[in-house]
A and B are shown apart, each in its own frame.
Chain A
């Protein structure tokens, strides 16, 4: 402490590095909440800490990480749009403008005046309804984001359940909704790739060329996922496949196909 008031610069420095014990950090935080001078020192020390961060050897982001991030924010935009669309259903549309002759206007005004109280009650009800709807949508949105986090996190444990003790084979599972072009893919037991290679997922449409559906690299356990890649809507798929491509990906699949699966035929086919 300086003059029995301020925290010493050494302790502030350790605080910025999270190198104090929990009790010590709590005491520093309490002081910082009241002391602008010490907060300024912390800001300066954080700047020094940021410099230390720049000293590390630079590594390129893992192959497919950029695409995974773009998929994630695209999914977020989609969720937000859907929430907004559903929320908009509760909005009150304005009445179309109409022309009234003077006596009719006077009569209408009288009716409106009488009905204002009733309408006010109705609007209050509507407002409560929309508020509840918005709250529900926010909860749904948070849950959807949570699901995406679970699906895409490298920290998540992925276990393939089988009937017996078989050697682990590469497997993948696609969930695809053609109307909205939504896709979730999970793979297990994939071999690790050299840094200049990546796996690429393909949608094989009923007609036309294969459509790229995301780049990905498995983690150390061979697990990987692709969630909500950018895909066109309304494309019926007959199969899905995974190939190995150069790190930047490819516009068309390169043989061999590592894993693939056909969609189930429709009833009556």
Chain B
């Protein structure tokens, strides 16, 4: 995967030189030194995103907060679980939040260690403006996908259903379910590359 990926979550790294706020890398370096203010800054930057994903999956503010607290405390106590160069902190947090929320929803032990979450290359989405622009684009793309693709992706991503469960619920063949989810993700990737 090159840094020219159409996926902005794994695109080129921002220099951060002229940013009023420190980059994610700078904050994480401070977190490794047990700087509580830096950890508070990371929480302020991404707490809402992580909580929102967990809330979307769990639909319960208390459980969503538990997931959020657990993820940020894990980042605090084991900051090396996120390794620079293996993806953006924002993307990593999104994946870990979604997976941990699904695990909580299914009332099972975490299936994947955060160490196993590897996104290629770097993206710095430390800027709220950059995140908001990207969020707007992603929402537009997903909204314009064919409804059956939207439905399949939503059931898999936010409801945590297996492809067999989705096929059972929608009455579609397994192969069709797989194809729809794949087409949805490819459509998202292509649209963001355009």
- Residues on A lying within 8 angstroms of B by beta carbon are 9-11, 13-14, 17-21, 25, 39-40, 42-62, 65-66, 68-70, 72-74, 76-77, 80, 152-155, 219-220
Q: Given A19-B162, A19-B163, are A13 and B72 neighbors across the interface (CB < 8 Å)?
A: no
User: A residues within 8 A CB of B166?
Assistant: 19
**A10, A54, A66, A80: most-surrounded residue (chain B CB, <10 A):** A54
Cβ-defined contact, B178 with A14, below 8 A? yes
Mark out the residues of chain B between 52 and 72 whose CB falls within 8 Å of any chain A CB in the assembled complex: 52-53, 55-56, 60-63, 65-66, 68-69, 72
CB-based nearest A residue for B11: A47
Cβ-defined contact, B69 with A69, below 8 A? yes
Cβ-defined contact, A73 with B87, below 8 A? no
Cβ-defined contact, B63 with A46, below 8 A? no
Instruction: Pull 6 A–B residue pairs with CB atoms less than 8 Å apart, ordered by A.
Output: A56-B52, A57-B56, A58-B135, A60-B51, A65-B51, A155-B66
User: A residues within 8 A CB of B73?
Assistant: 69, 72-73, 76
User: B residues within 8 A CB of A50?
Assistant: 9, 87-88, 90-92, 94-95, 119
Q: Is B36 an interface residue (CB 8 A)?
A: yes
A69 to B119 Cα, complex, angstroms? 26
Q: Is B26 an interface residue (CB 8 A)?
A: no
User: B residues within 8 A CB of A20?
Assistant: 162-163
Cβ-defined contact, A51 with B138, below 8 A? yes
Q: Given A57-B56, A219-B62, are A14 and B9 neighbors across the interface (CB < 8 Å)?
A: no
User: A residues within 8 A CB of B185?
Assistant: 13, 45, 48-49, 52
Count A/B pairs, Cβ under 8 Å: 187
Cβ-defined contact, B157 with A17, below 8 A? yes
User: A residues within 8 A CB of B161?
Assistant: 19
Q: Given A10-B179, A54-B131, A155-B63, are A59 and B72 neighbors across the interface (CB < 8 Å)?
A: no
- Smallest distance from the beta carbon of A153 to chain B beta carbons, Å? 6
Cβ-defined contact, B51 with A154, below 8 A? no
A264 to B186 Cα, complex, angstroms? 67
A2 to B89 Cα, complex, angstroms? 32
User: B residues within 8 A CB of A56?
Assistant: 52-53, 55-56, 158
User: B residues within 8 A CB of A52?
Assistant: 138, 142, 153, 157, 185, 188
Q: Given A14-B163, A19-B156, A66-B47, are A9 and B182 neighbors across the interface (CB < 8 Å)?
A: yes
Cβ-defined contact, A74 with B65, below 8 A? no
Cβ-defined contact, A73 with B91, below 8 A? no
Q: Is B109 an interface residue (CB 8 A)?
A: no
User: B residues within 8 A CB of A74?
Assistant: 36
Cβ-defined contact, B44 with A66, below 8 A? yes
| 3 residue pairs, one from A and one from B, having the closest CB atoms | A154-B62, A53-B94, A50-B91
The one of B86, B88, B157, B162 in contact with A49, judged by C-beta atoms closer than 8 angstroms, is B157
A93 to B9 Cα, complex, angstroms? 52
User: B residues within 8 A CB of A9?
Assistant: 182
User: A residues within 8 A CB of B65?
Assistant: 61-62, 65, 154
A72 to B69 Cα, complex, angstroms? 9
- Smallest distance from the beta carbon of B111 to chain A beta carbons, Å? 6
B40-51: contact bitstring with A at CB < 8 Å (1 yes, 0 no)?
100110011101
Q: Given A65-B65, A69-B69, are A47 and B49 neighbors across the interface (CB < 8 Å)?
A: no
